[in-house]
Amino acid sequence: MSSSDTTTPGGQTRRHVRVLIVGSGLSGLGTAIRLSQAGITDYVVVERGPDVGGTWRDNTYPGAGCDVPSHLYSYSFALNPDWSRSFSPQAEIERYLQGVADRYGVRDKHLFDCAMTATRWDDTARRWEIDTARGGFTADFVVSAAGVLAEPNLPDIKGISSFEGEIFHSARWNHQASLAGKKVAVIGTGSSAVQIIPAIAPQAQRLDVYQRTATWVMPQFNRPYLAVERLAFKRVPGLQRLIRSLIYLVREVFVLTQVKAPWTGRLLELVGRAKMWLEIRDPVTRRKVLPQHRIGCKRMLVSNKFYRTLDRPDVDLVTDGIAEVRAHSIVTEDGTEREVDAIVLATGFHVADSPTFNLYAGRDGRTASEAADAEGYQMYKGTTVANFPNMFFMLGANSGLNYTSLIYIIESQLNYVIDAITRMDAENLQTFEVKLDTQRAYNRALDPKIARTVWVGGGCNSWFLDKHGRNSALWPDFSFRYRRQVRTFDLEAYDTTAKTA
Ligand code: NAP
């Protein structure tokens, strides 16, 4: 079937495509390429931003980079021998993704500056109706690749809207705002903050770091690659794949410390403690950064500069809760008022409660958010959901990883997506919808594994947990086991309808 216009009962003309992809980050771009490679070319990618890249286009904050090694952090079909360092900076990953989009010729399948505003299932026509900033579509299949860490969490702190200086979220960095010579506050001490803080401290007049929860910090062995190494990655057959496989295997060890035998994390905690002693001279600061939860409960931070920056005389680590933000200051619960010219909100993202889920209305009219409220944020194999026929969620519930490359999961899911669409065609089927009982049984089977993990037993709160306190974000096993379960589309788990003539 090729692209064509359709007229809906409401009289609107919509462009019909076989597959519509929402978002062009790592997941959406990967989907586009894999669809093209499978010969499924009747698709469009709607992307709210001006280019591909997703999180690597949006997170341009100073110091932004990837804490997963470069050689693992690329598509398996597009290895990059030219990475400049063992851990890549943001701009290099963004350029890599732009280059991949060009090389695989999928840019002309994109509509940029084209936010999806509503997607609803039409049960009569048995297809999706999608509204976007650049017109309406209908689609046989929708792939939601809108991103997990895409919707900034803006803290609801008393008086914050009355602040008169510069204020912005880490993922919406205002490059027009100079921090040089200013009194700056960073709220949050997660993965983004530990990259930002060392990068901005040298230019700020002074920096206050507001920490709500101390988190374990691990060292990073980040170094530039020598020209001879890059040449070898290019010329020696199999070398880069071998290194990639070794990195992959080493990182799977973290599954032991978080899932299989969390007590082994204590060894890593020793590394964390040694790091505090070696890098922080001030005993008060050292006490403040000592986490009160088991390592891995929150995502481990990786930095060689964060602690040393906290130790600077012009940097203050504030651990009293924030009571109020005023026009030119922040007041903490102990009554201290600190003057500030600029506030950086490194306060994370909406994950299980992403506003994007309000935009998808399923077969019974309920949105994905409403369905998540009723059932919990649960999916089948992290990819499909009852009540949402012919829809795939990239990096959906319980498919995330916090210790290795998410691209591994994305490519695993893409095997499932491509096989599903191919089989639907081969078997002359119009719709699939996962059986609710099957979805529930799948999640019941995950529960005992999740219960053993440090994410729920480690004594912390994190974005891995939904509002019911269930880990709905992370996959609780080795990542190769995830890959195995989505290798082929298991049609028997789904209710299907046949194509009508
Ligand atoms: P995050 O890990 O969710 O951290 C948010 C920080 O803001 C936490 O310290 C949190 O404190 C604090 N916070 C939130 N609301 C607050 C409030 N109202 N008052 C005071 N503090 C508040 O967010 P992130 O640092 O942006 O990282 C999110 C995820 O992005 C990471 O876990 C990681 O998966 C990914 N990431 C990856 C990389 C990479 O190198 N690969 C880099 C950056 C980010 P609590 O801990 O008390 O909640």
- SS3 letters across 359-410: HEECCCCCEHHHHHHHHCCCCECCCECCCCCCEEECCCCCCECCCCCHHHHH
Quick count: other Cβ atoms within 10 Å of Cβ 384? 25
The per-residue pLDDT for 8 is 67
Q: What is the mean pLDDT of residues 300-318?
A: 97
The per-residue pLDDT for 6 is 74
Q: 89 CB under 6 A from ligand 1?
A: no
Question: What atom in ligand 1 is closest to the CA of residue 347?
Answer: 7
Q: Tell me the C-alpha to C-alpha distance, in Å, between residue 94 and each of 56, 57, 103, 259, 480.
A: 5, 6, 14, 32, 27
Helix (H, G, I), strand (E, B) or coil at 167: strand
In the predicted model, is pLDDT for residue 30 greater than 90? yes
Domains and CATH numbers, the chain: 5-151+350-491 (3.50.50.60), 155-215+260-347 (3.50.50.60)
d(CA 376, CA 468): 8
Of the given ranges (285-299, 347-361, 420-434), which has the lowest mean pLDDT?
347-361
Phi and psi at 122, nearest 5°, equal -100, 105
The per-residue pLDDT for 1 is 39
- Mean pLDDT (the chain) is 96
Instruction: Report CA(337)–ligand 1 centroid distance (Å).
Output: 24
Question: What atom in ligand 1 is closest to the CA of residue 156?
Answer: 18
Question: What atom in ligand 1 is closest to the CA of residue 59?
Answer: 43
In angstroms, how far is the first alpha carbon of the chain from the final one? 14
DSSP 8-state class, residue 188? -
The whole-angstrom distance between residue 356's C-alpha and the CA centroid of its chain comes to: 13
User: Please, which pLDDT band fits residue 10 given cuts at 50, 70 and 90?
Assistant: low
Q: Which residues pair with 45 in a beta bridge?
A: 21, 110
Instruction: Report CA(390)–ligand 1 centroid distance (Å).
Output: 33
| Each residue's pLDDT tens digit, 316-342 | 999 999 999 999 999 999 999 999 999
Q: What is the largest CA-CA distance in the chain?
A: 76
Instruction: Report CA(455)–ligand 1 centroid distance (Å).
Output: 15
Q: 88 CB under 6 A from ligand 1?
A: no
In the predicted model, is pLDDT for residue 454 greater than 90? yes
Phi and psi at 426, nearest 5°, equal -60, -35
- Edge-to-edge strand order for the sheet containing 329-332? 322-326, 329-332, 337-339
Ligand 1, atom 46: closest residue by C-alpha:
213
Question: What is the H or E stretch that residue 240 is in?
Answer: helix 239-255
Ligand 1, atom 17: closest residue by C-alpha:
155
Q: Tell me the C-alpha to C-alpha distance, in Å, between residue 172 and each of 58, 177, 196, 357, 381.
A: 7, 12, 13, 21, 32
d(CA 220, CA 226): 18
In the predicted model, is pLDDT for residue 161 greater than 70? yes
Q: Work out the percent of the chain whose per-residue pLDDT is above 90.
A: 94
Exposed/middle/buried for residue 280 (C-beta within 10 Å: 0-12, 13-18, 19+): buried
- Please write down the long-range contacts of 376-380, taking CB distance under 8 Å and 24 or more positions apart: 376/443, 376/466, 376/468, 376/470, 376/472, 377/352, 377/466, 377/470, 377/472, 378/439, 378/440, 378/443, 378/472, 379/439, 380/434, 380/438, 380/439, 380/442, 380/493
Spatial contact of 33 and 27, defined as CB atoms under 8 Å apart: no
Strands 43-46 and 13-22: parallel
Instruction: Report CA(339)–ligand 1 centroid distance (Å).
Output: 24
Instruction: Report CA(77)–ligand 1 centroid distance (Å).
Output: 31
- Threshold 0.85, pTM exceeds: yes
Q: 259 CB under 6 A from ligand 1?
A: no
Quick count: other Cβ atoms within 10 Å of Cβ 227? 8
Radius of gyration of the chain (CA): 23
The per-residue pLDDT for 310 is 98
Q: What is the mean pLDDT of residues 265-288?
A: 97
Ligand 1: residue of 212, 304, 399 to mutate (most ligand atoms within 8 A of CB) is: 212
d(CA 112, CA 133): 10
Q: 26 CB under 6 A from ligand 1?
A: no
Residue type, 393: F
Name the nearest CA neighbour of 22 among 123, 108, 103, 139. 139
Instruction: Report CA(430)–ligand 1 centroid distance (Å).
Output: 42
Spatial contact of 173 and 58, defined as CB atoms under 8 Å apart: no
Spatial contact of 46 and 143, defined as CB atoms under 8 Å apart: no
The per-residue pLDDT for 180 is 97
The per-residue pLDDT for 436 is 95
Strands 349-350 and 342-345: unpaired
**Which residues, at least 6 apart from 492, have a Cβ–Cβ distance to it below 8 Å?**
none
Q: What is the mean pLDDT of residues 73-93?
A: 98
Q: What is the mean pLDDT of residues 473-500?
A: 97
The per-residue pLDDT for 500 is 85
Quick count: other Cβ atoms within 10 Å of Cβ 277? 11
